[in-house]
Amino acid sequence: MNEPASARVVAVQDDLITIESVADGEHYRPLMKNEVIYILPTRLDGDRQEWLKAEVLRVKGRRADAQVYESTGGVGVGDPVVQSADMLSAELGPGLLGMVYDGLQNPLELLAVQHGTFLPRGVDLPALDQEKLWPFKPYVKEGDTVRTGDVLGSVAEGRFRHSIMAPFDLVGEWTVDWIMEGSFSVADSVAQLSNGTQQRQIHMSQRWPIRQPISRALLAQGQAQRQYPSVPLSTTMRLIDTFFPIAKGGTGCIPGPFGAGKTVLQGLIARYSDVDIVIVVACGERAGEVVETIQEFPNMPDPKTGGTLMDRTIILCNTSSMPVAAREASIYMGITLAEYYQSMGYDVLLIADSTSRWAQAMRETSGRLEEIPGEEAFPAYLDSSIKNVYERAGVIQRYDEQSTTGTFTMIGTVSPAGGNFEEPVTQSTLGTVKTFLGLSAERAYKRFYPAVDPLLSWSRYLQQLKPWFDENLDPRWTERVARLQSLLEKGEEINRMMQVTGEEGVTREDFIISQKAQLLDMVYLQQDAFDDVDVSVPMERQQALLSLMEAVIEHQPPARSEDDKAEVRDFYTRLTGLLKNLNYSMWNSSDYDALLQDIHATLNG
């Protein structure tokens, strides 16, 4: 850090410090909100220097409050502060896929190689490999006119075409002075642009402030438009795709108590969803679960490509044991990476785990800033902060020759204490997202997985995507799903009644309804994540099973006596076993056909 100090520390409180501008002659260098600054602790043993990275949160004249992204041990009043004049930014370019970063985009594997298991303070490494050469193929030529976000060329990043785009901060039209073809590192200049008064050297990487949406820059320059999400995100999970769909470019949340299966569910969604790029942001999850994710993803086969899932995944780790400030920043870092690939025209899925601890990080910082607290001591702006995060998801169509369209879908997991969905983070999230997959501790205890409670969950996309369902599935699709949801609700009402009165207290007709609802739950809503066949069910097979379920539900077992509830239960138990075995059989195999015949024989017998 060769720049002179322009401020000094005047107060320290945990990871929050207060700084004050120092006069350079008669002038003070202005402090900016969200500016990155560096603090040099002077109370350290030996000659080592540790420049600690921090971000300005609030400016009050010549003073500002800043959150430090590392331990503030050794920082004291009077320590020098260097202002970078840059916002906290992400480094965008080829080489992101397959990487594991911390919340500030430091590559964890390289940090471990250079510094060991326990990471020292003050280390700031480039996010992208500065030495690796990428074969660059230009798409424009000297004299062409370009605007922000226009594709200048591309490199191959695995199986993906990684677009090298004109910087997102360009304003107006620029002319290509020269452009090169060949193999270059991300730090090399590959082109030069000018607009009559300025010249810009173009590299294969660029930086962008993580708290500013990339899409906003494209929209402001008339380079793109937002589209209405109109296509469902196929997860190959029956419960989600049929009952509680999520749109590509939409939002969803998975709240639930500890042990209800959030980690497994989000892993299945990441692996089998119909998207190109997956970004996992562990913004406060426990370290053990994050280690499991890092170990599993590189070895998990990718059903889309035949390679490993890590080939098209980026993981950002800021566990609950890591600095609070970096935990809060990590979710914005992940969103910026998602927007970057979205602007190239890819379908991107971001899973944030868990937004509860991200909100708790905001609560800690807000408390140290002595801001007026809201409910349960969360900041009063919690609701708007959550909305700002989820609203960055969407569908963006670029105004280029191909009308390139990219989607960014965001799913956040919430960990309310005790499974209380009335707490502020869950309620603010519910008011923002359009799909709510509420996990139930009771269903998890019964081993009903995925433990999504169909009576608590909902999706506003079921009606929003009705034109797509009508055209691609069945004009009566939403009505069919609504009838099945109604059956589940009626079955639950009858079950509650039987808990009080016993089976003798309900009629035969009501008992049959409860048995049908239980069969629907066990056969269609539950899915075995450890079975090679049932773990992923394409939409065609879901449709066939749904039609079969409707036939089973419409069938009325013949009455053999006035009180034959035991026989009715045995009938539906037998059917449930056959249908579950059908789920475990390969689609259209001889075993599948034989089971299908047994099911029809049981219904007709």
Q: What is the CATH number of the domain that holds 325?
A: 3.40.50.300
Q: Which of 77, 79, 21, 15 is nearest to 50 (CA)?
A: 79
User: In this structure, are 181 and 243 located in the same domain?
Assistant: no
Based on the structure, what is the number of domains in the chain? 4
Are 72 and 15 in contact by the 8 Å Cβ rule? The answer is yes
CATH of the domain at 594: 1.10.1140.10
Would the annotation count 517 as a binding residue?
Answer: no
CA–chain centroid gap for 91, Å, is 19
Region of residue 325 (left: phi > 0; alpha: psi -120 to 50; beta: else): alpha
Its pTM surpasses 0.85: yes
- The enclosing domain of 67 has a CATH number of 2.40.30.20
Residues 112 and 150 both lie in one domain? no
- Token code pair at residue 148: 């922000």
> Of the candidates 23, 56, 86, which is a domain's last residue?
86
Residue 418, domain member (yes or no): yes
Q: What does the pLDDT read at residue 282?
A: 87
Residue 160 is part of a domain; what is its CATH number?
2.40.50.100
Assigned domain for 219 exists: no
Per-residue b or e along 376-389, where b marks 16 or more CB atoms closer than 10 Å to that residue's CB: eebbeebbeebbeb
Q: Give every strand in the sheet of 151-157, ordered side by side.
A: 160-165, 151-157, 134-138, 182-184
- Does residue 562 sit within a domain? yes
Q: Say whether both 424 and 287 belong to one domain.
A: yes
316 shares a domain with 393: yes
C-alpha separations of 602 from 4, 139, 562, 575, 579 in Å: 84, 64, 21, 7, 11
- 224 belongs to a structural domain: no
Residue 466 located in a structural domain: no
Of 175, 234, 218, 225, the closest CA to residue 200 belongs to 175
Q: Which amino acid is at 415?
A: S
DSSP character string of 446-511: TT-SS-B-TTT-EETHHHHTHHHHHHHT-TTHHHHHHHHHHHHHHHHHHHHHHHHH-GGGS-HHHH
Q: Would you call 560 helix, strand, or coil by DSSP?
A: coil
Is 246 found in the same domain as 149? no
**Alpha carbon distances (Å) from 334 to 113, 229, 263, 310, 313:** 24, 21, 18, 16, 11
Residue 52 CA to residue 29 CA, distance in Å, equals: 20
| Same structural domain, 241 and 359 | yes
Does 262 carry a binding-site annotation?
A: yes
pLDDT of residue 44: 73
The pLDDT score that the predictor gives to residue 177 is 97
The b-or-e profile of 252-263 (16+ CB within 10 A means b, else e) is: bbbbbbeebbbb
Model pLDDT, residue 1: 67
* Predicted pLDDT of residue 321: 65
User: Is 91 part of any domain?
Assistant: no
Residue 469 vs residues 1, 464, 485, 550, 562: alpha-carbon distances, Å: 58, 10, 17, 18, 43
Distance CA 171, CA 553 (A): 61
Question: Residues 440-482: pLDDT tens digits?
Answer: 999 999 999 999 999 999 999 999 999 999 999 999 999 999 9
Residues 115 and 168 in one domain: no
Whole-angstrom distance, CA of residue 443 vs CA of residue 453: 7
Does 401 map to a domain? yes
Strands 7-13 vs 277-283: parallel, antiparallel or unpaired = unpaired
Q: What is the CA radius of gyration of the chain?
A: 28
Residue 104 lies in a domain: yes
323 and 363 assigned to the same domain: yes
- The first and second tokens of residue 46, run together, are 């030996």
Q: Are residues 582 and 490 in the same domain?
A: yes
In terms of residues, how long is the chain? 605
**118/151 same-domain check:** no
Same-domain status, 385 and 262? yes
The answer to whether 287 and 319 are in contact (CB under 8 A) is yes
According to DSSP, the β-strands at 160-165 and 151-157 are antiparallel
Query: Binding site annotation covers 261?
Result: yes
Which tokens is 173 given?
Answer: 């039209």
* H-type alpha helices, 284-414: 287-296, 324-343, 355-368, 382-390
- C-alpha 602/C-alpha 548 separation (Å) is 13
Q: Which residues of the chain have pLDDT under 70?
A: 1, 25, 45-48, 285-288, 320-322, 562
Copy the structure tokens of residue 394: 């969407």
What are the residues whose beta carbons fall under 8 Å from the beta carbon of 238, sequence distance 6 or more? 524, 525, 527, 537, 542, 545
Q: Are residues 151 and 288 in the same domain?
A: no
User: Which residue range(s) make up the domain with 284?
Assistant: 99-125+229-442
Annotated binding residue 258: yes
